[in-house]
A and B are shown apart, each in its own frame.
Chain A
């Protein structure tokens, strides 16, 4: 059963703590992405990775960090430097090599108080 999984679905943290969101895919996709979605707004790109051991900043990378040590995994760390971390976070993947369609995970809702 191929797809993208994100865990956990809901995450609560205290202000000042770093938190890592998980994203795993078994679609053998080269490219993976992290988006942030705020109420009533579109998706904003945080980071993306087109290949293992390489990643690029998106439009709103400040306060976030990622790693891509394995093809199937692309964890996102929300650091204490992120001023407004409460949001819905979506991970996606695509086959790459000119195949642009992105497949999305179910999302993680992060609440920081």
Chain B
């Protein structure tokens, strides 16, 4: 069946380095994608979104890349900080929103 998934369940980076979190999706009809950040014991927070008619979108220190050919979504975080440590989810939308399992990002000082 259609699903949203992530390549890696955990990612550890050094403070100041760039982070790249990946997400694979299988529903070619998905037309809207969101990255959420979830800190321990809290609800997910919106980071950035992208529509299927775009291949790149930038925010403050974050960039989302969409490759529709291989059905791949990535979140790039520049100059990763300790406050970026969290679980990051991708979500895809066709008629409703479906979430991936998440990647836990740990930032080492």
A positions within 8 Å CB-CB of B: 4, 6, 40-43, 45, 48, 90, 92, 100-107, 109
Find chain A residues with CB under 8 A from B36 CB.
104
Find chain B residues with CB under 8 A from A43 CB.
44, 89, 99
Cβ 8 A contact of A41, one of B49, B91, B101: B101
Q: How far is the CA of A40 from the CA of B101 in the complex (A)?
A: 7
Find chain A residues with CB under 8 A from B41 CB.
107, 109
Q: How many whole Å from A76's CB to the nearest CB in chain B? A: 14
Find chain A residues with CB under 8 A from B97 CB.
100, 102
Find chain A residues with CB under 8 A from B96 CB.
45, 48
Q: Is the CB of A107 within 8 A of B101?
A: no
Q: Which residue of B lies closest to A107 (CB)?
A: B43
Q: Which residue of B lies closest to A106 (CB)?
A: B43
Q: Which residue of B lies closest to A37 (CB)?
A: B38
B positions within 8 Å CB-CB of A: 4, 9, 32, 34, 36, 41-46, 49, 89, 91, 93, 96-97, 99-102
Q: Is the CB of B93 within 8 A of A103?
A: no
A-B contact pairs, 20 of them (CB 8 A): A4-B43, A6-B43, A42-B99, A42-B100, A42-B101, A43-B44, A43-B89, A43-B99, A48-B96, A90-B43, A100-B97, A101-B46, A101-B49, A102-B97, A104-B36, A104-B45, A105-B43, A106-B42, A107-B41, A107-B42
Additional 9 contacts, C-beta under 8 A, given A42-B99, A43-B99:
A40-B9, A42-B4, A90-B43, A101-B49, A103-B46, A104-B36, A104-B44, A104-B45, A106-B42
Q: Is the CB of A101 within 8 A of B34?
A: yes
Find chain A residues with CB under 8 A from B4 CB.
42
Q: How many whole Å from A61's CB to the nearest CB in chain B? A: 14
Find chain A residues with CB under 8 A from B91 CB.
102
Q: How far is the CA of A100 from the CA of B92 in the complex (A)?
A: 10
Supposing A100-B32, A101-B34, A102-B97 touch, asked if A42 and B89 sit within 8 A by C-beta, the answer is yes
